[in-house]
Amino acid sequence: MCGITGYIGDNKTTDILIDGLRRLEYRGYDSCGIAVVDAKNRLYLKRVSGRVDALDKLVAADPAKGAHSGVGHTRWATHGAPSEDNAHPHTDCSSEVVVVHNGIIENYLDLKDKLLAAGHKFKSETDTEVIPHLIEEKLKSLHVQEKAVRSDMLEPVFFEAFRRAVADLKGSFAIAVVWARCPGMVLAARLHSPLVIGLGKGENFIASDVSAFLKHTKRVVFMNDGEMAAVKKDGVDFYTFQGKKTAREAVTIQWDSTMAEKGGYKHFMLKEIHEQAEAVENTLRGRLLPLGGDILKAEMGLSAEAMKAFSSVQFIACGTAYHAALVGRCLFENFGIPAYADVASEFTDRAKLMAPNTLVMAISQSGETADTLFAVREAKASGAKVLSITNTVGSTLTRESDYVLYTHCGPEIGVASTKAFLGQLAAIYLLGGHFAAVRGRLPGGDARRYAEDLLKIPRLIEETLEKETEIAKVADGFAASEHFLFISRHINYPIALEGALKIKEISYVHAEGYAAGEMKHGPIAIIYKGMPLLAVAPSGRTLELMAGNIEEAKARGAEVIAIVDQASQKTVKASRYIVLPSTDELFTPMLTVIPLQIFAYYVALAKKCDIDKPRNLAKSVTVR
Ligand code: G6P
């Protein structure tokens, strides 16, 4: 949550900071701001309650003069309501130290009490504001009086004051700070919140994620927890919180900056829905054949012997990734491998109760979701091995896992996850196939058929996407509805949950996803005449039961929109059908979710909702 940018160099600082914020808006967008040091070493600070566009206008109307360093922030409120006063950057009493922060300072009330007692005046309700005041206090303790410090001592003094302030902070934080008296250096620190440094030529960047500066540089250093960076125009030095210098290697990011642009689509979400065939193809490429071979060993050090030895699989994830986890559970169980799935925030005591030699599979697009990371740490503390499935190179999750399988979806910008979900499913099917093969659950021809069927999925996704106009029409017909039900069974039950989540996220209507068998135990009571009920009913072992559940819903007045294939359409009696290409029952979730995503998109479009930036949400949830 919250996006941070920082810049130092000779290009137009305010433009670079604002452009970076625009690309990070998916992380939070209730307020934003920038601060730069101008040519006369004065602090220039602009903040708005609202979006980056509003900030841009404000800055254009009163531009900064000659700035070469600064920081920016787009916020998802935790402490203090979204308002201009609570927007970052925050300053100290002298308005010389200015800070942007992502995370939560857990001991801020204690620190604030002490700072108030020392005479500091606070202007916001945020936890963040303690940081600039604390740095100011540390500067005082280093005897920094008005203009009294020798100019060659400004950088070491600033660094030391920052280091001491950071040492007092508890919680999670990514921080970037400038001091107006020392404009040649921006300082940064990271603990449990992502922060990455972009290395340019004669300019350097700081951001919560690489997409903020990809168009300027692809050479990056992902900061470690407990690390600080002194970022200057011509170089960046890294230190521990104790002030010991560390050597860091830069890596080159493969993503292209145009991947994070809309490319002619009205919304990122729609563009990303259309990128799903590619996301699956890229995630499967070169990793499938032969199943059970050495492919996973070569890529992530996971040997066939290890795959055989795990007693069970425990999935943990949040949000949409949790729905991928539920599909994973069904898939692994289908292969006779004991599997469990929990939302990371409810994993709690489970970590200690896992069977010996359980493999934990953590799924996270961002690799930064706080609850998922916390659950992973608990699992590791209990002795489990962790395999993570993520889309984000260098993310915290990758560094805390024993094995990492990357989905290759490219950047996902829409807050409502679509292509990342398909990438996660592809990774799960890939792992499921390898695990099943080494454990003798996909003998001979079965393994080959499994791989071949899976490799056909990208083409079937393309075919499914051709139904967009038809699905849009159905969605239009229900755009005024305030309640939606989604039902299915077995491996498509998670898809019913995902369909309901998608429409809730972007249309703000009431929607529930249910295991169809549970309808009679309560939810059927809420059905009224004309209520839209989306039933996911492809061919397979649960079809007859689904057909019965659909009849029961219709008898109570539901308008049933059935997601079927040609064969299952004959069994299901619905008011409307969306007919998908056929595939093996096991793989249907990769197709059935697509009409539900498109349906949610067009309901939201008809309701004129802000599809890529839904209210109250943020893409990366880095607080618990
Ligand atoms: C947020 C996003 C969801 C996402 C979830 C988990 O709630 O809005 O789209 O599914 O976080 O995110 P992760 O990055 O861990 O997959």
109-125: pLDDT as tens digits:
999 999 999 999 999 99
Q: Is the domain 465-615 a CATH 3.40.50.11900 member? A: no
Percent of the chain scoring above 90 in pLDDT: 83
Facing residues of 220 across strands?
198, 251
437-455 average pLDDT score: 92
C-alpha–C-alpha distance, residues 487 and 572, integer Å: 13
205-215 average pLDDT score: 93
What is the CA(561)–ligand 1 centre distance, in A?
27
Ligand 1, closest atom to CA 415? Answer: 8
DSSP assigned state of 223: P
What is the CA(187)–ligand 1 centre distance, in A?
29
What is the CA(477)–ligand 1 centre distance, in A?
29
C-alpha–C-alpha distance, residues 190 and 174, integer Å: 4
Worst-scoring range by mean pLDDT, 30-39, 88-97, 149-158, 332-341? 149-158
> Can you give the pLDDT at residue 148?
67
C-alpha–C-alpha distance, residues 315 and 344, integer Å: 9
* Burial class (CB within 10 angstroms; exposed 0-12, middle 13-18, buried 19+) of 298: exposed
Whether residue 318 has its Cβ less than 6 Å from ligand 1? yes
Ligand 1, closest atom to CA 618? Answer: 8
DSSP assigned state of 10: S
- Considering the domain 3-261 in this protein, what is its CATH number? 3.60.20.10
Structural element, H or E, at residue 410: none
> Can you give the pLDDT at residue 145?
64
> Can you give the pLDDT at residue 147?
59
Residue nearest to atom 9 of ligand 1 (CA): 417
Whether residue 45 has its Cβ less than 6 Å from ligand 1? no
Catalytic residue list:
2, 619
Asked if 271 contacts 263 with a C-beta cutoff of 8 angstroms, the reply is: yes
Whether residue 617 has its Cβ less than 6 Å from ligand 1? yes
> Can you give the pLDDT at residue 554?
95
What is the CA(320)–ligand 1 centre distance, in A?
6
DSSP assigned state of 192: B
Whether residue 374 has its Cβ less than 6 Å from ligand 1? no
C-alpha–C-alpha distance, residues 237 and 246, integer Å: 8
Whether residue 370 has its Cβ less than 6 Å from ligand 1? no
Ligand 1, closest atom to CA 420? Answer: 16
Please report which confidence band the pLDDT of residue 263 belongs to, taking 50, 70 and 90 as the band edges: confident
* Ligand 1 pocket, mutate which of 620, 622, 624 (most atoms under 8 A from CB): 620
Worst-scoring range by mean pLDDT, 371-380, 408-417, 600-609? 408-417
Whether residue 320 has its Cβ less than 6 Å from ligand 1? yes
Whether residue 364 has its Cβ less than 6 Å from ligand 1? yes
C-alpha–C-alpha distance, residues 558 and 609, integer Å: 25
Residues composing the chain: 624
Angle between helices 154-168 and 130-141 (to 10 degrees): 130
Residue nearest to atom 7 of ligand 1 (CA): 319
Residue nearest to atom 1 of ligand 1 (CA): 619
Please report which confidence band the pLDDT of residue 443 belongs to, taking 50, 70 and 90 as the band edges: confident
* Ligand 1 pocket, mutate which of 2, 272, 619 (most atoms under 8 A from CB): 619
Whether residue 372 has its Cβ less than 6 Å from ligand 1? yes
Q: Which CATH number fits domain 265-455: 3.40.91.10, 2.40.10.10, 3.40.50.10490, 3.40.50.2000?
A: 3.40.50.10490
Whether residue 126 has its Cβ less than 6 Å from ligand 1? no
Helices marked H in 218-300: 268-274, 276-284, 295-300
Ligand 1, closest atom to CA 318? Answer: 6
> Can you give the pLDDT at residue 410?
87
204-209 average pLDDT score: 96
Residue nearest to atom 5 of ligand 1 (CA): 319
The overall average pLDDT reported for the chain is: 94
Please report which confidence band the pLDDT of residue 394 belongs to, taking 50, 70 and 90 as the band edges: confident
What is the CA(619)–ligand 1 centre distance, in A?
6
* Range(s) within the chain of domains with CATH label 3.40.50.10490: 265-455, 465-615
Whether residue 614 has its Cβ less than 6 Å from ligand 1? no
Percent of the chain scoring above 70 in pLDDT: 99
Dig out the tokens for 156 from the structure: 């070491």
C-alpha–C-alpha distance, residues 233 and 183, integer Å: 10
Dig out the tokens for 321 from the structure: 């990734």
What is the CA(421)–ligand 1 centre distance, in A?
10
* Range(s) within the chain of domains with CATH label 3.60.20.10: 3-261
Terminal-residue alpha carbon distance, the chain = 11
Ligand 1, closest atom to CA 366? Answer: 14
Whether residue 321 has its Cβ less than 6 Å from ligand 1? yes
Dig out the tokens for 551 from the structure: 């009849």
